[in-house]
Amino acid sequence: MHKIEMTREQLSDLLKEVTVGVVKEQLDSQVKELGLDNIDQKFAKISAKAEDISGLGGKEKMAKFIKAIYSKDVSALASFKALNEGTGSAGGFLVPEEFTSEVYRVVEDFGLISKMGTKFPMGSDSTNVPTVASSVTGSYPGEATAGTASDPVFAQVALVAKTWVGLTVMSNELLADANVSVVNLLVELFAEAIAGEIDTQGLIGTGAPFTGILGNASATVVTMGAGNTTFASITLADCRDLITQVKPWALQGAGYVMHRTVWAIIQKLRTGGTNSGDFFGASTNPVIVGAPQGFPSATAGFLWGYPVYLSDKMPTTTGVSTKFVIFGNLKHVFIGDRAPLAVAISQEGTVGAVSLFSTNQSAVRVITRHAIAVGLPTAFAVLRTAA
């Protein structure tokens, strides 16, 4: 028998090799048992799809994304960034950032509050935004007399996120062949719906789920004269009285918000006195000035020197004790952004009266989470018809 001589270092190296070999053999066996031996190939396929998608423009990428959801192509969906966060009942697949940006760009074209309100990102379902309810005061106490202390009063505006859901039914053929035109259609459909609901809640919300300017009890109310119980009874003096109810520091950026039918009544008002021919647009009329019509974010005209904005969400049904005109700066309406858009597509069930299966159609559902609150109600004055 030959004696094998080893140094301490050689023996240590041998033991390491034996240990590593045993561990590797065990790992290889477990990998095969779990069916993970081709995991590299699977990731390679997904990476290839991700690289292919990264070269597309925003709308082409969204078209590919819609097709992937419609056809339930899991590997294609996995190639979109961050899509594995929210699936199924949690709200569908988070859409590519380019599509979200496009939707909200169009939202601002359709909506007043979305365009002019103040936005806050939300890291949780509820956020408190501090505002100054009143500032400090000063005095002239005189010689050897102590001054009177005063402190600013801070308030908290609570933003509590709620889930908004939009549904539309589209043909399976259209979704299967989704292209840029289909994406443009979806952008407009959902952008208009989101903007409209944010305007509804921010302007006239009654607390279900958000309280808007007309529904806020702290906004100053100007009541029209006795007997003036309809929108048609509005006067230029009523519109002027709204301005006096807003403090001077809040007047910068202020404007009127009303329905187009109310603006039409104001446009027809005579400027008073014996000069009964001075209608809207006359050069001698300094009170009402015309401007090109456009989207709600464009001015429809000027009244008492302040811009007039139109919204179809404002009241149109006249009646007693009805608030129907807003004056103030819409930047004091706060919008909390809680979660990005998520999309889901279903080919089963019934939406409204439409049976998706029998009509060969699919329902496209879009979900987003946001919060709306009036940050400073006293910066607004609202006009109300008489009792």
Of how many residues is the chain composed?
387
Confidence of residue 327 (pLDDT cuts 50, 70, 90): very high
78 phi/psi in degrees, rounded to 5: -65, -20
Contact by Cβ (8 Å): 354, 361: yes
Residues 135 and 133: their CA atoms lie apart, in Å, by 7
Select the more confidently predicted residue: 47 or 312.
312
Task: Indicate if the pLDDT at residue 90 is higher than 50.
Answer: no
Confidence of residue 83 (pLDDT cuts 50, 70, 90): very low
pLDDT for position 335:
96
Residue type, 352: G
**Which residue's entry shows tokens 């002239």?**
140
Average pLDDT over residues 9-13: 63
Average pLDDT over residues 101-119: 88
Q: For 42-70, what is each residue's pLDDT tens digit? A: 445 545 555 554 555 667 888 888 888 88
pLDDT for position 322:
98
Contact by Cβ (8 Å): 84, 54: no
Residues 308 and 326: their CA atoms lie apart, in Å, by 10
Task: Indicate if the pLDDT at residue 165 is higher than 70.
Answer: yes
Residues 280 and 90: their CA atoms lie apart, in Å, by 53
Select the more confidently predicted residue: 79 or 202.
202
Q: What is the CA radius of gyration of the chain?
A: 31
89 secondary structure, DSSP code: G
Q: For 166-225, what is each residue's pLDDT tens digit? A: 888 999 998 888 888 888 888 888 888 999 999 999 999 999 999 999 999 999 999 999
The three-point CA angle 357-360-365 to 5° equals 75
From 86-90, 144-148, 317-321, the region with the lowest mean pLDDT: 86-90
Is the full-model pTM beyond 0.75? no
Domain made up of 86-132+152-387: CATH architecture = Alpha-Beta Complex (3.90)
Task: Indicate if the pLDDT at residue 319 is higher than 80.
Answer: yes
Select the more confidently predicted residue: 286 or 203.
203
Contact by Cβ (8 Å): 91, 83: no
Contact by Cβ (8 Å): 363, 147: no
Strand partners, 370: 162, 337
Where do the structural domains in the chain lie, given as residue ranges? 86-132+152-387
How far is C-alpha 261 from the chain's CA centre?
26
Q: For 336-387, what is each residue's pLDDT tens digit? A: 998 878 888 888 889 989 999 999 999 988 888 999 999 999 999 999 999 9
Confidence of residue 151 (pLDDT cuts 50, 70, 90): low
Task: Indicate if the pLDDT at residue 313 is higher than 60.
Answer: yes
